A and B are shown apart, each in its own frame.
Chain A
Amino acid sequence: MVLSIVTILLGCSQSTEKRQTAGEAASTIQADPNDPMSNKGIGPVKEVVLGELDNAMVADGEKIFKQLCSACHKPEEKFIGPAPKGIMTRRSPEWIMNMIINPEEMVKYDPVAKQLLIDYNLAPMANQNVTEEQARKILEYFRTLE
């Protein structure tokens, strides 16, 4: 009873659009959401195919990262949030992009993101209103941080 009231309240506080995104995403979560490499996270990004490294995208991605993310993330060392160095071996590309685009829902519903929030002293991952296209470029930049 208490639970269902909470659900209704939560439901009302979000826009219809957001609720649909969460619902759809929930069904696409792979076998084990706790397995970081198969977990695609929650958000609009369903499938990312990585081709050969695109240097123009890398340069754009680095610029966007510096502008919107570097206040909390240093490429190679832990700062307010984790360092993106080596992230491609720790998380799926879809999870990374969803975390950038949809941080509020990720830290609420995704088990890996939830744990990260706790590990990083509840410092919130700010929503910097990054577009999907921008997030893809940031991802390309992350591929160079091995």
Chain B
Amino acid sequence: MRTLIFLSLISLAFLHGCQPRQGGMAGGGAATDAASRVYVAPGELDEFYAFFSGGFSGQLSVYGLPSGRLLKIIPVFSVDGEKGYGFNEETKPLLETSFGFIPWDDAHHPQLSHTNGIPDGRWVFINGNNTPRIARIDLITFETAEIIEIPNSGGNHSSPYATENTEYILAGTRFSVPFPQQDVPISSYKETFKGVLSFISVDPKTGHMELAFQVLLPAFNYDLARAGKGKSHGWSFYTSYNVEQAHTLLEANASQYDKDFIAAVNWKKAEEYVKAGKAKEMPASYFHNIYDDNSHMATSKEIKTVKVLIPSECPDMVYFLPTPKSPHGVDVDPTGEYIVGAGKLSADMSVHSFSKILEAIENEAFETHIDGIPVLKYEEIVAGIVSSGGLGPLHTEFDDNGHAYTTFFISSEIVKWKVGTWEVVDRAPCYYSVGHLMIPGGDSKKPFGKYMVAMNKITKDRYLPTGPELNHAAQLYDISGDKIQLLLDFPTVGEPHYAQAIPAHLVAPNSKKYFSLEDNVHPHVTKKESDTRVVREGNVVRVYMTTIRSHFAPDNIEGIRVGDKVYFHVTNLEQDWDVPHGFAVMGAHNAELLIMPGQTETLLWEPDRPGVFPFYCTDFCSALHQEMQGYARVSTKGSDTPLKWWVGKQE
């Protein structure tokens, strides 16, 4: 009987699901057999890893596709109490900048590292937009491994796009600022402001980033970028808006002209100029922070100069490509021949031909020059116009069958068109107001295809209401057939501006299970329980503590005094997968520690009152997890309570 009721409930649910929803968008738009195509059975694994930017959360979310299951949130630019990121002493240096410790940023565009123009599964880069930075996330540990600050930038938006072999990560500034930064009237914008494009080199072995050089451009807003590939390898492309150079009410004032520019930079030429000593060494201040997996610590370094190339002194390095209506996305097709500029205030998109660009340069088909930079003639470089009938084109990605897919924000849809003929072959609605889209490998020389994800700006009625604030909606489509088919809605964290995905088999086998205790070279590591101890150095007390299922050593500590700075250096002695221990102490002004097996992490505790305070493990670790606790006794300032510690029996 019970089974019967249960079955009929299920069928009811199914029936209900098939009915057009009352009051909402009709039917929700999903393909009829969508459930079976996104269902990943318990114990089964997803086909793709997808990395979604967290937008104003500052983090990077990892999802499985096609299920849409959230696998992990990797803290990058924002502190994260869940993992102690930015709260423990080891990760604080990662968030150091020339402005000091910054606990938040706005992270927009994840970029997988490429080898031969194809995602290689080694790293994900992501930009910090507000206090300009680029982070590198290691796909062995799924943790932030490095963050570099970008000087002379006023908003690191057209970033961090990778060249074909991740030789460089591109970083253009959305907001132009005085160059060098100084106290000037805002109205001197045209004279004193500049837009800077940065080239961050990446060490192919270690992944370590370095600011190789910057290119100084007129004060436009450099919005988005892509590197060339295949035949256009060696070039990079940046959309701009506000060539009007307005500094107030841009909503109206930056939309005066019919065309803005795509800046095309020949970075191989730029490299030659740097080698030839043409770059100016300019004073700067920016931070470079690296996390080390053996010391389990980040270190921070301030760098004080930067190499700057000035186009008027470096001919044949930069060109402007006129492109209609404040182009937003600039996307390069898998062959590297076509450069798609999505004029966000129009219905059509102009596609430039790289071969024609080279020809126009050869023939000096220049309209004019701006600050010594040739502006190519629009009609000489356009390969075609995509007349879609949509409104507000933003971003384009590519599949493995010669198609491009472009999002249209205003008409809230994705349009599929044929590269080369520019003919529109299909379109699918998005719920609602799509921004970026993503196809696995869709920015590469060999897209993996199969799925497409729309990242929508407006959620409204797609989920149960949760008050005024709603998580942004992502939508998964099947693009393997002629028709785009909607499969799944799933909520995301923060605002996913962009995402990238990669087949799981290129990443999963390398994923680390635990850190070897033997390789741990943290300056305050404790490798065995017999080495645990408490040391006083003036008003600094260092607790060398270990964890194993399920006790702390030591778990009783006396002789701490009000006003002390107590550092708990906790080493997790476990050597097995998925056995982290947590550590939290009452009244701490930071967060917990979440210590991976074999890792050492440090919590600073500054007790402000006498008493006996408990500490405990926060991550359920065994049947005796509730027993994993201890006490720290705090005496008054100047008291003579002797420093003592023990576990098990008092010694």
Cβ-defined contact, B530 with A126, below 8 A: no
CA distance A71 to B573 in the complex (A): 8
Asked if B430 is at the interface of the complex by the 8 Å CB criterion, the answer is no
Encode contact with B along A56-74: 1 for CB under 8 Å, 0 otherwise.
0000000000111011100
| CB-CB under 8 A for A129 and B576, given A67-B517, A67-B528, A71-B528 | yes
Interface SS, B side: loop
Inter-subunit contact B528/A127 (CB<8 Å): no
Chain A residues with CB under 8 A of B518: 67
Residues A126 and B549 in contact, CB atoms below 8 Å apart: yes
Q: A124-B622, A124-B623, A126-B574 are in contact. Are A71 and B548 (CB under 8 A)?
A: yes
In chain B, positions 570-594 with a C-beta closer than 8 Å to chain A are 573-576, 579
B549 and A123: CB pair below 8 A?
yes
Q: Which residues of B contact A128 (CB under 8 A)?
A: 574-576
The answer to whether B548 touches A126, judged by C-beta atoms less than 8 angstroms apart, is: yes
B211 at the interface (CB under 8 A from A): no
Could you say which of B43, B530, B551, B622 contacts A66, with CB atoms under 8 Å apart? Answer: B530
Distance from A83 Cβ to chain B, minimum over Cβ atoms (Å): 13
C-alpha spacing A132/B548, complex, angstroms: 22
Q: Number of B residues whose C-beta is below 8 Å from A? A: 23
Distance A97 CA – B43 CA, assembled complex (angstroms): 31
Chain A contacts for B527, CB-based, 8 A: 67
Smallest CB gap from A9: residue in B = B43
Complex: how many Å from CA A12 to CA B43? 7
A26 close to chain B: CB less than 8 A? no
Inter-chain contact B624/A127, CB cutoff 8 Å? no
Query: Given the complex of chains A and B, what is the CA–CA distance between A79 and B530 in angstroms?
Result: 13
B624 touches A121 (CB 8 A): yes
Which residues of the other chain, B, contact A122 by a CB distance below 8 angstroms?
622-624
Does residue B91 face the partner (Cβ distance < 8 Å to A)? no
| Cβ contacts under 8 Å, B579 to chain A | 126
* In the complex, A13 has a CB within 8 A of chain B: yes
B500 at the interface (CB under 8 A from A): no
Contacts of A121 in B (CB 8 A): 623-624
Q: In the bound complex, do residue B528 and residue A66 qualify as a contact, i.e. CB atoms below 8 Å apart?
A: yes
Query: How many chain-A residues does the 8 Å CB contact rule pick out?
Result: 18
Say yes or no: B549 contacts A124, CB within 8 Å.
yes
Contacts of A123 in B (CB 8 A): 549-550, 622-624
Partner of B43, one of A13, A67, A68, A71: A13
Chain B, 474-525, CB within 8 A of any chain A CB? 514, 517-518
A88 at the binding interface (Cβ < 8 Å): no
Determine if B67 is an interface residue (Cβ-Cβ < 8 Å): no
A129 contacts B575, CB within 8 Å? Answer: yes
Kindly state whether residue B24 has any CB partner on chain A within 8 Å.
no
Q: At the interface, yes or no: A80 with Cβ under 8 Å from chain B?
A: yes
What string of 1s and 0s marks CB contacts (under 8 Å) between B533-571 and chain A? Answer: 000000000000010111101000000000000000000
Return the contact of A68 from the options B551, B553, B575, B624 (Cβ within 8 A).
B575
Smallest CB separation, B531 vs chain A (Å)? 9
From B517, which residue of chain A is reached at the shortest CB distance?
A67
Q: How far, in angstroms, from A70 to B647 measured CA to CA in the complex?
A: 13
Q: Shortest CB–CB separation between residue B44 and chain A, in angstroms? A: 9
- What B residues does A68 contact at CB under 8 A? 517, 573, 575
- B648 CB–A CB distance under 8 Å: yes
Find the B residue at minimum CB distance from A120: B624
- Nearest residue, chain A, Cβ from B573: A71
Please indicate the chain B residues that have their CB under 8 angstroms from the CB of A12 in the complex: 43
At the interface, yes or no: B529 with Cβ under 8 Å from chain A?
yes
Bound Cα distance A13, B42 (Å): 10
The distance in angstroms between the C-alpha atoms of A56 and B393, with both chains bound, is 72
B-side contacts of A126, CB under 8 Å = 548-549, 574-576, 579
Nearest CB in chain B: distance from A139 CB, A: 18
Which one of A71, A124, A127 lies within 8 Å of B529 (CB-CB)?
A: A71
Cross-chain contact A129 with B514 (CB below 8 angstroms) = yes
Q: A122 to B518, alpha carbons, bound, how many Å?
A: 28
B113 to chain A, nearest CB (A): 29
Instruction: Quote the shortest CB–CB distance from A60 to chain B (angstroms).
Output: 13
Q: Are A70 and B549 in contact (CB under 8 A)?
A: no
> Chain A nearest CB: distance from B356 CB in Å?
56
B624 touches A72 (CB 8 A): no
Contact of B546 among A13, A71, A79 (CB under 8 A): A71
Chain B residues whose C-beta falls within 8 Å of the C-beta of A127 in the assembled complex: 575-576
CB neighbours of B624 from chain A (8 A): 121-123
A72 CA to B553 CA in the complex, in Å?
11
Residue of A nearest to B553 (CB): A71
A123 to chain B, nearest CB (A): 6
Chain A: minimal CB distance from B576 (Å):
4
For A72, the closest partner residue in chain B by CB is: B548
B residues within 8 A CB of A80? 551
A124–B550 Cα gap in the complex (Å)? 9
Chain B proximity of A105: nearest CB distance (Å) = 14
A116 to chain B: closest CB distance in Å?
14
- In Å, the complex CA distance between A121 and B553 comes to 19
With the chains together, A35 CA to B546 CA distance in Å? 36
Identify 8 residue pairs between A and B in the complex whose beta-carbon atoms are under 8 Å apart, listed by A's number.
Answer: A13-B43, A70-B528, A71-B546, A79-B648, A122-B622, A123-B550, A127-B576, A128-B574
4 residue pairs, one from A and one from B, having the closest CB atoms: A122-B623, A71-B548, A71-B529, A128-B575
Other A-B pairs, 5, CB within 8 Å; known A128-B574, A129-B576: A66-B528, A70-B528, A126-B575, A126-B576, A128-B576
